[in-house]
Amino acid sequence: MPSNEVIQGLGLDDYKFGFVTDSEPVFKTRPGLDAEVVRQISARKDEPDWMLKRRLKALRIYDAKPMPKWGGDLSELEETLSRTYFYSKPQEQMERSWDDVPENIKQTFERLGIPEAERKILAGVGAQYDSEMVYHSLKEEWESKGVIFDSIEDGLKNHPEMFRKHFGTVIPAADNKFAALNSAVWSGGSFVYIPPGVHLETPLQAYFRVNQERLGQFERTLIIAGEGSRAHYIEGCTAPVYSTDSFHSGVIEIIVNRDARFRYTTIQNWSNNMYNLVTQRALVQQGAHMEWLDGNLGSKLTMKYPSCYLMGEGAHGEILSIAYAGDGQHQDTGGKVIHVAPRTTSSIVSKSISKGTGRSSYRGLCKVYDGATHARSNVECDALLINETSRTDTFPYIEIDEKTATVGHEATVSKVGDEQLFYLMSRGMDETEAMALIVRGFIEPIAKELPLEYAVELNRLIELEMEGSVG
């Protein structure tokens, strides 16, 4: 772990993990994107023909779709993409043993506290370094239960039938421009399968990091939770500071089969020059539960709306999200719930904090199809503004085609008030401590759902961000 002195020694808006490790990738494509680059990626991965065809088709869809005009400002993105390396492979081999991991990569992990986490609970860290899994170990217990927790590449290689049956079924390439882009150039990510009836107590964790200037990261994750299974997947990322804009566009597909319960937790803390445009969606079958727990810090612009398609009777979807927009950042986040079947229920709780010139937007969709009788949905979005220059907007879209549905929506905007600050200061806290306590209280309903180490990390990040935000 980096010591507190080191962290505090950084200026206010310096990025905590903003260091660059000197690592030369073994292979990378030239900047920019065309069919030749896609062919190279596919060939490097030694992929079956059907996947190459899928990639090329996705590229055509990507080229044909216009840039979205809604959400955040994407006007400089085209230029950024022309300079982006779409694929970089740091090593030839997958590493399983810690000893085999190259020293400079180890250093990066060490500075992020990875080895400690490894020693503590996780025999099963899947850590992504650049575009590929370099380090990936799996608990024996999971193997004995038939759980698959692989890199997405190994998923395709080792479980071709299951992979082909589900890949792209939740989020087809044509879903949106960035889903198409990811489908064309995806690299890295996880493939997870939980057999029916298997309950996992320890979360599956993947920790990854973008470490190559102008390297776009297009992780792709496919998760299949078997009938009646229970599991929790945790993903956390952090990226170093770069002089030019970086780009991250992931696609996460999850299938939650009948009566299964699945939770997907992400804490993302991108450096503030990153475009972060992610599509994540779960298909939730009869009686199943899906929960997205999504924390977004950093980045230049994040557009991310985890969604639950409630396909079977009694399915339940839950989206909890926190967004933190610092100076010059725009967090355009929220969630989507689509009620297709009767007695489906959903809940979205979204909290955002805007500081300085930061801007947060809640963008959500609740759709209830005709025939989704007695569907119930509740949306709550709360925004906290730290300074006069901070901004927040709410865009709740509600489409109800079913008379028996019940949908609730509640939105609040609060400012950290002088009275609140004075109350805390009159008890002896200085302004920064008072501000941090108010913010911690604001995000508490979501932070308490996080595993302890993540909650502690989140609180620490917020505290660092609060320093100097007042006065």
Partner 1 sequence: MDDSPILVVTGLEAGVADEDLDILKGVDLAIGPGEIHAIMGPNGSGKSTLAKLIAGHPGYEATGGSVEFDGEDLLDMEPDERAQAGVFMAFQYPVEIPGVSIANFLRTALQSRLEDGEELDLFDFQELLMERMELLDMDVAFAQRPVNDGFSGGEKKRNEILQMAVLKPALALMDETDSGLDIDALQIVARGVNTLREEDPAMSVLLITHYQRILNHITPDVVHVMVGGKIVESGGPEVALELEASGYEEYRKAHAA
Residue matched to tokens 């470490």? 211
User: CA–CA separation, 292 vs 294, rounded Å?
Assistant: 6
Give the nearer residue to partner 1 in terms of CB position, either 69 or 427. 427
Question: Measured between alpha carbons, how far apart are the two ends of the chain, in Å?
Answer: 31
User: CA–CA separation, 214 vs 451, rounded Å?
Assistant: 32
User: Which H helix or E strand runs over 339?
Assistant: strand 330-339
Residue 229 near residue 197 (C-beta atoms within 8 A): yes
Residue 361 near residue 393 (C-beta atoms within 8 A): yes
* Helix axes 177-185 and 49-64, enclosed angle (nearest 10): 150
Rule CB under 8 A: is residue 428 a binding residue for partner 1? yes
Rule CB under 8 A: is residue 429 a binding residue for partner 1? yes
Give the nearer residue to partner 1 in terms of CB position, either 43 or 425. 425
Rule CB under 8 A: is residue 423 a binding residue for partner 1? yes
Please state the closest distance from residue 345 (CB atom) to partner 1, in A: 25
Please state the closest distance from residue 440 (CB atom) to partner 1, in A: 7
Rule CB under 8 A: is residue 440 a binding residue for partner 1? yes
Please state the closest distance from residue 416 (CB atom) to partner 1, in A: 11
Show the tokens assigned to 218.
């297009």
The 362-401 contact track toward partner 1, x by CB under 8 A, reads ----------------------------------------
Give the nearer residue to partner 1 in terms of CB position, either 382 or 402. 382
Give the nearer residue to partner 1 in terms of CB position, either 93 or 426. 426
Rule CB under 8 A: is residue 69 a binding residue for partner 1? no
Residue 323 Cα distances to 250, 298, 462, angstroms = 18, 9, 11
Rule CB under 8 A: is residue 433 a binding residue for partner 1? yes
Q: Please give the size of the binding site for partner 1, defined by CB under 8 A.
A: 24
Rule CB under 8 A: is residue 420 a binding residue for partner 1? yes
Rule CB under 8 A: is residue 422 a binding residue for partner 1? yes
Position among 35, 404, 430, 468 found at the interface with partner 1 (CB under 8 A): 430
- Interacting span for partner 1 (CB under 8 A) from 106-114, 299-307, 312-320, 443-451: 443-451
Q: Among 319, 317, 316, 315, which residue's Cα sits nearest to residue 292? A: 319
Position among 79, 143, 410, 444 found at the interface with partner 1 (CB under 8 A): 444
Please state the closest distance from residue 322 (CB atom) to partner 1, in A: 12
Position among 26, 64, 425, 456 found at the interface with partner 1 (CB under 8 A): 425
Position among 102, 441, 456, 468 found at the interface with partner 1 (CB under 8 A): 441
How many CA atoms within 13 Å lie on the side-chain side of 419? Answer: 2
Tell me the backbone φ, ψ of residue 106, rounded to 5 degrees.
-55, -40
Please state the closest distance from residue 437 (CB atom) to partner 1, in A: 6
CA 140 to chain centre: 27
**CA dihedral of residues 457, 459, 463, 466 (deg, nearest 10):** 120
Rule CB under 8 A: is residue 410 a binding residue for partner 1? no
For residue 323, give every residue at least 6 positions away whose Cβ sits within 8 Å of its Cβ, in sequence order, or none.
295, 296, 297, 302, 331, 333, 350, 351, 352, 353, 360
In the beta sheet, which residues pair with residue 349?
Answer: 320, 380
Size (the chain), residues: 471
Position among 99, 103, 201, 419 found at the interface with partner 1 (CB under 8 A): 419
User: CA–CA separation, 460 vs 420, rounded Å?
Assistant: 22
Rule CB under 8 A: is residue 452 a binding residue for partner 1? no
Rule CB under 8 A: is residue 408 a binding residue for partner 1? no
Please state the closest distance from residue 448 (CB atom) to partner 1, in A: 9
Give the nearer residue to partner 1 in terms of CB position, either 309 or 442. 442
Rule CB under 8 A: is residue 5 a binding residue for partner 1? no
Residue 361 near residue 333 (C-beta atoms within 8 A): yes
- Interacting span for partner 1 (CB under 8 A) from 19-27, 106-114, 337-345, 432-440: 432-440
Give the nearer residue to partner 1 in terms of CB position, either 30 or 415. 415
Please state the closest distance from residue 393 (CB atom) to partner 1, in A: 22
User: CA–CA separation, 303 vs 296, rounded Å?
Assistant: 10
Position among 24, 99, 201, 418 found at the interface with partner 1 (CB under 8 A): 418
Please state the closest distance from residue 412 (CB atom) to partner 1, in A: 10
Position among 194, 443, 450, 462 found at the interface with partner 1 (CB under 8 A): 443
User: CA–CA separation, 187 vs 171, rounded Å?
Assistant: 16
Give the nearer residue to partner 1 in terms of CB position, either 178 or 442. 442
Q: Is 138 helix (H, G, I), strand (E, B) or coil?
A: coil
Please state the closest distance from residue 207 (CB atom) to partner 1, in A: 28
* Helix axes 49-64 and 35-44, enclosed angle (nearest 10): 150
User: Which H helix or E strand runs over 137?
Assistant: none
Rule CB under 8 A: is residue 411 a binding residue for partner 1? no
User: CA–CA separation, 361 vs 383, rounded Å?
Assistant: 9
Q: What is the CA radius of gyration of the chain?
A: 22
Rule CB under 8 A: is residue 437 a binding residue for partner 1? yes
* Site of interaction with partner 1 (CB under 8 A): 417-420, 422-431, 433-434, 437-438, 440-445
